[in-house]
Structure formats: C-alpha cells, structure tokens
C-alpha cells in the first residue's frame, strides 16, 4: 500500500464500520477492518441507540486497525445527524433517543408555538424534519436538560470518549437547527427563546481541525502510536458523502442513498428563498463552508422495513438481490407510484400495510405480491429522486445534467436505472463507500497527504473510483 494512513469510524443507521484509508496524491484506497450491526433498542420510554455497543465495537475495530497499520496517526468519526447524548460531569445520562422515536411530535408543537417554521427557516436554513435536534430538546423533560451540563451529537460523543475533548463539529451542528445562518455560530437568541440551557452546547470545531490527542488510557488500549489524534471531519455522514461525490458541482445533483436518500446540489451560498421554503429544502453545512442544499427523501428504509416485516412473518431472512430480480420482472406501469415522503412511512413498523393504506386513501390499486411491492417502492423512490434532483437544480440555480448516486443505493441497479429513466438524464453510480471516503479525505488533507479544494479531492475520487453510468431510456414509465 502507498500513501499515509488514517482510520475512519463510520456509523450508519443499520451498521457501523471501521475503515483504514491510504491516501496520497494519486492514491485513495480503503480497507474494511470491521463491520458491526447497529441495532436500536426499544425500552419503555422509547427507541434508543445502543451507543455503548457501537463504541465498544468501534474500539475493537480501531485496535485491529492499529495492529495491521501502525502508521495510522489520525481518526475521524461520522454518523447520522441530529441525535445526541446528554452528559453531566462526563457521565452519560441515558442512551440517546433514536430520531425515529415518536416523542418528537410534542416537541414540534412546543417549538412552533414559540417560533413558526418560516421564521426558523430564515434563522437556521433547515427543512422541516420532526426530529431536528431543537424539537428533540423541546421533548426532553425540563429538569433533565437543566441537570445536564453537555449535549453531544453522536460523532462528537465518540470523539469525546476518545480524546476527552467536547466540541460540536460544524456540519453536524448545522442539523440541530440552533446555528444561525449566515455565519453558522450558535444562535444565542433562538436558544434562549426555546429555553435550551446555553451551557450544554459545546464550542464549535471545523472539519480539518484537530479535536485532540487520544486519551492516554485509550491510546494504550488501542496500541496507538505517539501523536495519534482525532481530526474533526464532516461528521454528519451526508457531509462526508458529498465530499466524495465525483461530480462537477455546477452541473450535477447528488443522491446520497442509504437508509435516507439525501437529494440535492452543492452551492456556495445559502438559499433562503420562498421556493426553497415551500419545497422543504435544507441548507446544511458542508465541508469548506459549502452549502448542501438538499431534501430528505425517505430512502431505502422503505424497502428494508418492508423486508423486515415479511421476515417477521416468515421467521427467516429474505434475500434482497433475489427480491429485486423478481421486482425487475414486474412491469413498472402495473404498480402504484406512492408518495414515499408521506410522514406515515417514517416510524418503524408494518411497511406493506402502510403502503396499502396510502393506496386506499388515494384510490389506486395496491401491489399484491412481494415482487410488486418491491417494484412499487423502487418506482416511487426513483420518481421522488428524479423530482427532487430537478427541483434542487431549479431552487439552487444549478443546471443539473447528471445525477450522481453514492452510498449503498449505488448498488441497486434497478433503482439507478429507473432514476435515470424518470429524470431523463444519466445517473452515475458510486462510490458505494462515499461517506468513509469523504471522512478519510478530509483527514488526509489535514495531515498534508493531499492538498487542494473539494474539486481536487473529487478528481482523486473520480480517478480511483470510476462511477458506473446508467443512460436514460426513452420510455420513462416502462
Ligand atoms: C443520513 C442522515 C440524514 C439525516 C438523517 C437523520 O444518514 O444523516 O442526513 O437527515 O440521517 O440524522
């Protein structure tokens, strides 16, 4: 292997992984050290992330990473956004809630009673998502928030456990709804008016800055060499993924497709127009001060939750590639295209029953077989992806001529093809591991292993991870 070495902890909604990256001016290689399941746990008070298990598994992976590659000097951590742990005197006060937990509904009403969404949008630039951190804070019992001395988003929590340094990384902090745009500092006025104790929000840190050296006990346990430290990266997984989209940002839309489909464009200024507000687009903070103007589409969650429903019924695993093969045999025009963004699809539960209910309410025939459900989900996702890509271009003033799909969804050939067909433009699929690559690249740049703008980093991705091209076919609904 050539190039210097870094390690990435990448926590996704269904699994986490530790990856070693080797990076040099012409090199970008990643090696998977370990992958471990992320299994949320429901207790009497709601749905939680089992962060201790995730941290334990990440530590094991890091130990293995340092054993096989002693040259690693830097670690970067990313995960999904918005969720947080509350701490007091360094001690975690209970497992973080999962953003799919329904407790946030009460928080939404409480926040909007004080600050309506349109005003929030002017201040924080975010689309409405019922689980944005500010709504979750509003759903916390007041005395719990008052007792805490620190709130840390998930990657910041892992970084704190590794280094003892508590910071809020900017890209992820932008998803709390409590940063003031432009400028991106904590919005003191909003924080005060929502009754969030200001003292629980740590100082911000930018991607590329050093969070801190590993704690001595952690370094010893991991077998890490002198100088091993944590580097802040785009710790919101979507921010890291966007770094590694091999796109020409002035002519492309991207879809970071995993559990969610994050569909948007990258721009260098905020877009706080009435159109962006009406279309529920978000201005999330990107690496190097870029703006991720995007919309959350429900994503592969809809398919995987349907599969989980059938698996519960059957009592055994269902093979996804086989299901998708059978879905491909179903004519697209024979299945309903439903609105994947309907909030009813957000919470865990019986997905086929909810699709049936949507179809009944909209007077269309529901799918009958599993292959038909799968096809209907793929068609509905492809339609939502195509529409959001074009809308992102219109709203952001980007002449979208190509759509990039990165993340696990890049492996779903039917979805990539149907997105190209329905958008009427080529889809470039891959890299699958964009998030980890973005994580690795920002660390590598901070270490001086590569240099340059995001464009230079994307050139490196384009040369080392050539995307697969899906040309649009004439018949968009075939
Ligand atoms: C994707 C993601 C999205 C965010 C959602 C919830 O993994 O980070 O960007 O809206 O999860 O945190």
| Res 478 pLDDT > 80 | no
**124 and 177 Cβ atoms separated by less than 8 Å:** yes
Residue 397 lies in a domain: yes
Residue 238 lies in a domain: no
Q: Name 417's Cβ contacts closer than 8 Å, sequence gap at least 6.
A: 427, 470, 473
Place of tokens 């086989």: 322
Q: How far is the CA of 256 from the centre of ligand 1 (A)?
A: 10
Do 325 and 459 fall within a single domain?
yes
Cα–Cα distances in angstroms (integers) from residue 334 to residues 20, 214, 321, 327, in the given order: 45, 57, 21, 11
pLDDT-based confidence at residue 474 (cuts at 50, 70, 90): confident
Tokens coding 220: 């010893």
Place of tokens 């809308």: 391
Do 206 and 255 fall within a single domain?
no
- The binding-site residues of ligand 1, defined as CB within 6 angstroms of any ligand atom, are 13, 80-82, 99, 236-238, 258-260, 262, 296
The pLDDT score that the predictor gives to residue 385 is: 98
Do 21 and 94 fall within a single domain?
yes
Do 73 and 142 fall within a single domain?
yes
Do 173 and 275 fall within a single domain?
no
Residue whose CA is at the smallest distance from ligand 1 atom 2: 80
pLDDT-based confidence at residue 19 (cuts at 50, 70, 90): very high
Do 221 and 273 fall within a single domain?
no
**265 and 245 Cβ atoms separated by less than 8 Å:** no
| Res 344 pLDDT > 60 | yes
Listed range (223-227, 393-397, 441-445) with the worst mean pLDDT: 223-227
Atom of ligand 1 nearest to the CA of 236: 8
Mean pLDDT, the chain, rounded, equals 97
Tokens coding 32: 């998977």
Do 318 and 346 fall within a single domain?
yes
DSSP assignment of 113-168: HHS-HHHHHHHH-PPP-TTSHHHHHHHS-HHHHHH-SEEEEHHHHHHHHHHS---E
Do 290 and 400 fall within a single domain?
yes
Distance (Å, whole) CA 146 – CA 142: 6
Q: How many domains does the chain have?
A: 2
The pLDDT score that the predictor gives to residue 4 is: 87
Residue 237 lies in a domain: no
Q: How far is the CA of 68 from the centre of ligand 1 (A)?
A: 31
How confident is the model over 310-339, as a mean pLDDT?
A: 96
Tell me the pLDDT tens digit for each residue of 368-381.
999 999 999 999 99
CA nearest to 423, candidates 378, 398, 391, 468: 391
Do 250 and 227 fall within a single domain?
no
The pLDDT score that the predictor gives to residue 20 is: 98
Asked which of 205, 231, 257 is the last residue of a domain, the reply is 231
Distance (Å, whole) CA 85 – CA 248: 37
Give the domain CATH number at 33.
Answer: 3.30.420.40
Q: Name 290's Cβ contacts closer than 8 Å, sequence gap at least 6.
A: 242, 266, 267, 268, 454
Catalytic residues: 237
Asked which of 231, 260, 290 is the last residue of a domain, the reply is 231
CA nearest to 157, candidates 266, 259, 84: 84
How confident is the model over 338-342, as a mean pLDDT?
A: 98
Q: Is the peptide bond before 158 cis (omega within 30 degrees of 0)?
A: no
Q: What are phi and psi of 99, to 5 degrees?
A: -65, -15
Do 39 and 105 fall within a single domain?
yes
Do 345 and 203 fall within a single domain?
no
| Res 2 pLDDT > 80 | no
Residue 254 burial by Cβ neighbours in a 10 Å radius (0-12, 13-18, 19+): buried
Distance (Å, whole) CA 421 – CA 427: 9
Residue 180 lies in a domain: yes
Do 204 and 261 fall within a single domain?
no
**385 and 341 Cβ atoms separated by less than 8 Å:** no
How confident is the model over 144-163, as a mean pLDDT?
A: 98
Tell me the pLDDT tens digit for each residue of 379-390.
999 999 999 999
In which domain, by residue range, is 123 found?
4-231
| Res 361 pLDDT > 70 | yes
State the number of CA atoms in the 13 A half-sphere of 464 facing the CB: 23
Residue whose CA is at the smallest distance from ligand 1 atom 4: 81
Asked which of 188, 204, 231 is the last residue of a domain, the reply is 231
Residue whose CA is at the smallest distance from ligand 1 atom 9: 238
The pLDDT score that the predictor gives to residue 78 is: 99
Atom of ligand 1 nearest to the CA of 237: 8
Q: What is the pTM of this model?
A: 0.97
Select from 296, 299, 346, 388 the residue to mutate for testing ligand 1; criterion: most ligand atoms less than 8 Å from CB. Answer: 296
């Amino acid at each position: 292997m050539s190039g210097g070495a870094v390690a990435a902890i990448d926590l996704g909604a269904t699994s986490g992984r530790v990856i070693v990256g080797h990076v040099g001016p012409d090199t970008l290689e990643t090696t998977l050290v370990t992958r471990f399941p992320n299994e949320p746990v429901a207790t009497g008070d709601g749905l939680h992330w089992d962060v201790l298990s995730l941290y334990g598994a990440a530590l094991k992976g890091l130990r293995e990473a340092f054993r096989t590659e002693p040259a690693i000097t830097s670690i970067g951590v990313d995960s999904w956004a918005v969720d947080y742990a509350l701490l007091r005197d360094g001690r975690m006060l209970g497992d973080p809630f999962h953003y799919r937990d329904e407790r946030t509904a009460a928080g939404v009403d409480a926040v909007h009673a004080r600050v309506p969404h349109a005003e929030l949008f002017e201040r924080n630039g975010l689309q409405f998502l019922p689980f944005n951190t500010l709504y979750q804070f509003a759903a916390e019992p007041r005395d719990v928030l008052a007792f805490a001395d620190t709130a840390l988003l998930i990657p910041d929590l892992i970084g704190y456990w590794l280094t003892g340094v508590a910071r809020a990384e900017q890209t992820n902090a932008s998803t709390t709804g409590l940063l003031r745009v432009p400028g991106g500092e904590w919005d003191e006025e909003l924080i005060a008016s929502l009754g969030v104790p200001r003292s629980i929000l740590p100082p911000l840190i930018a991607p590329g800055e050093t969070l801190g050296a590993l704690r001595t006990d952690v370094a010893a346990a991991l077998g890490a060499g002198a100088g091993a430290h944590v580097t802040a990266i785009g710790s919101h997984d979507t921010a890291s993924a966007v770094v590694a989209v091999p796109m020409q940002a002035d002519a492309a839309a991207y879809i970071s497709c995993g559990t969610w489909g994050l569909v948007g464009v990258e721009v260098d200024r905020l877009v706080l127009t009435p159109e962006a507000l009406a279309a529920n687009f978000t201005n999330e903070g990107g690496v190097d001060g870029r703006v991720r103007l995007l919309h959350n589409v429900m994503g592969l969650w809809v398919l995987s939750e349907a599969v989980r429903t059938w698996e519960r019924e059957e009592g055994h695993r269902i093979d996804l590639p086989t299901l998708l093969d059978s879905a491909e045999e179903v004519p697209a025009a024979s299945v309903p295209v439903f609105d994947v963004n309907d909030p009813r699809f957000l919470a865990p539960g019986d997905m086929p029953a909810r699709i049936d209910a949507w179809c009944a309410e909209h007077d269309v025939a529901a799918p009958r077989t599993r292959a038909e459900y799968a096809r209907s989900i793929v068609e509905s996702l492809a339609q939502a992806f195509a529409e959001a890509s074009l809308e992102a271009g219109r709203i952001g003033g980007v002449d979208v001529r190509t759509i990039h799909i990165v993340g696990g969804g890049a492996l779903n050939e039917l979805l990539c093809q149907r997105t190209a067909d329905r958008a009427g433009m080529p889809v470039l699929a891959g890299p699958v591991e964009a998030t980890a690559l973005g994580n690795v690249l920002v660390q590598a740049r901070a270490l001086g292993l590569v240099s340059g703008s995001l464009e230079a980093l994307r050139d490196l991705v384009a040369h080392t991870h050539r995307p697969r091209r899906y040309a649009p076919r004439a018949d968009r609904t075939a």
